[in-house]
Homo-oligomer: A and B are copies of this chain.
Amino acid sequence: MTEKLVLHEYAQSGNCYKIRLTAALLGLPLERQEYDIMNGETRTPEFLEKVNANGRIPVLQMGERFLPESNAACFYLADGSKLVPEDRFGRADMLRWMFFEQYNHEPNVATMRFWMAFVGEERLNEAQRGQVESKRAAGNAALKLMDEHLAARPFFVGSRPSLADVALYAYTHVAEDGGFTLSDYPHVEAWLRRVEAEPGYVPMSA
């Protein structure tokens, strides 16, 4: 890629970290622009007009084009690389876990982390408080499904890491911030260590 890549982000968001981790594993340089989501910096008229009408980060900018949705941005960076399986079933199976991540994992594991570690349990509103129990159960169900899948495999798809691992690693490795107990999922814990051993790996705080 010859065009300059800029990541519009909030560094502590796992969705933003996915894109940084993908770029790092592929050796791609990425400029970073930070927004304070707690103070509405992604809801300003300028942001909505120029960067993302959906008012969310991350957004990956290449030249004058803007790409929202974390997993789509990872796919853009990794398309044709070692992080996307070469065979048709493998590519679709990778996307299967990335859709699982956005539907079954992130709304539970990431939202619990945001509520518990960023907002604070005592500041949740009534509607949020009413969902804590079901999100905890659904988050544990997602982690259990991952644990069973990883019992027989080193990575989610095939024998090498793919974007499925990057996408699921981002919020899983900080799941304890949301009150989940990773030692309940030993195959997940072993897989986290395998992802961290990959050449080019960078931690969320980097």
Closest chain B CB from A123 CB (angstroms): 17
Binding site for B on A (CB under 8 A): 53-54, 62, 65, 67-73, 75-76, 79-80, 88-89, 91-93, 95-96, 98-100, 102-104, 106-107, 126-127, 130-131, 134, 145, 148-149
This chain: how many copies in the complex? 2
With a cutoff of 8 Å between Cβ atoms, the chain B residues found around residue A89 in the complex are 62, 65, 67, 76
B67 touches A91 (CB 8 A): no
Consensus secondary structure, chain A interface: helix
Contact of A92 among B72, B93, B107, B149 (CB under 8 A): B72
Q: Quick check: A96 and B79 within 8 Å, CB to CB?
A: no
Bound-complex Cα distance A148 to B104 (A): 28
